[in-house]
Structure 1
Amino acid sequence: MSDPEPVLYEESGTRPAILLFGPVLAAAGIGLESLAPGGASLPLWLGVGLLVFLYTLLLVRTRRRYLRVLLTPSALELGTTSLPMSHVTSLRPVDEEHHGVRVLGDGPVVPRKLSPVVLRLTDGTRAVAWARDGAALRAALEDLLRARAAS
């Protein structure tokens, strides 16, 4: 049985703690409404809490699938797309324009609030990777490329 590859950089896409928003909202609503004359409408608040929970569950699952970043020595995975690291030759400068360059991942553009990292590929083209912490992804990629060049 082979050992799993070391993870050099990882982002999950979102934190699962956000799922607590629906239950906390329902509990707060029940607590506040119980102070009002007539008492709390328990079924209403439980329904609201359940609907908010289901909506956030859908958001968390989607973000974990399509905004996940995983860098190992052999591959860079962005969402459901995987790029073999053997195809990456270098990184482009931080300030290089990335508009019109193929974006890796599942969308046509770099997702909102994520930082681009421009890669130079073995076929001479460029591609854009992205991460919430673009500087950390860039540093991990630079370390990997430096180690690969030294060996």
Structure 2
Amino acid sequence: MTDHYRERGASGWPLLWGPLFALLGYLAERFTGGDRPHTVMWLAVGIGLLWLTSIWVYARRRFLVVRVTDTELVQGREQLPVERIAKLTGVGAPAGTRVLGGGWSVPRKYEELPLKLDDGTVVLAWAWDAEELRDALESVMRKSAP
């Protein structure tokens, strides 16, 4: 299955923040004239921050993933078959429109893309770049049209 559009939700770079912070703290303590650096404490800080950051990265990768494949649009935990999408442009989103992916609202810092489905309902898709998402969906819908 080919991905026509993909957002992972988070990269692995934030996993380095905690250990780097702990290393900087250790080095600062070592070179500022302290008697003995608190090595075990800085190791615990690095491991603790790594653990907390790994939970954050895992959650973002699970709940903020956006994918368009040949057959479906994936938004977080929700999968919508592309054949259910009836209209992509000129769709208004009334108040209370259901957001794909299971959230109450479009995630912060993401753009919304209203979609009209084959049963007449309107849902909100979301992505960092809604135009790119729209282009990918249009491409897939053109390929799958008879």
Structure 1 length normalisation: TM-score? Answer: 0.89
Structure 1 residue identity aligned to 2:75:
L
Cα separation, 2, equivalents of 1:110 and 1:13:
14
Kept in 1: contact 2:9–2:61 (CA 8 A):
yes
Q: Given the alignment, which residue of 61, 64, 71 partners 2:61?
A: 64
Cα separation, 2, equivalents of 1:77 and 1:131:
11
Percent same amino acid at aligned positions?
Answer: 37
1:26 CA drift (Å):
1.1
Kept in 1: contact 2:93–2:124 (CA 8 A):
no
Instruction: Tell me the secondary structure at the aligned position of residue 31 of structure 1.
Output: helix
Find out whether 1:117 has 2:113 as its counterpart. yes
Find out whether 1:93 has 2:84 as its counterpart. no
Q: Given the alignment, which residue of 108, 131, 140 partners 2:127?
A: 131
Query: Which sits farther off after the overlay, 139-148 or 26-35?
Result: 139-148
1:98 CA drift (Å):
5.2
- 1:27-55 CA distance string (max 9 Å, x none): 11111110122132111111111111111
Cα separation, 2, equivalents of 1:89 and 1:70:
18
Kept in 1: contact 2:99–2:106 (CA 8 A):
yes
Instruction: Tell me the secondary structure at the aligned position of residue 119 of structure 1.
Output: strand
Q: Please tell me the root mean square deviation across aligned C-alpha atoms, in Å.
A: 1.5
Find out whether 1:17 has 2:13 as its counterpart. yes
Cα separation, 2, equivalents of 1:98 and 1:41:
57
1:10 CA drift (Å):
0.5
Query: Which sits farther off after the overlay, 60-69 or 139-148?
Result: 139-148
Q: Given the alignment, which residue of 130, 144, 148 partners 2:144?
A: 148
Gaps of 5+ in 2: none
Q: Given the alignment, which residue of 25, 31, 42 partners 2:39?
A: 42
Cα separation, 2, equivalents of 1:85 and 1:98:
22
Instruction: Tell me the secondary structure at the aligned position of residue 135 of structure 1.
Output: helix
Kept in 2: contact 1:90–1:145 (CA 8 A):
no
Cα separation, 2, equivalents of 1:44 and 1:135:
48
- 1:73-127 CA distance string (max 9 Å, x none): 2100111100011100111338x44532111002111111111011110001111
Instruction: Tell me the secondary structure at the aligned position of residue 99 of structure 1.
Output: coil
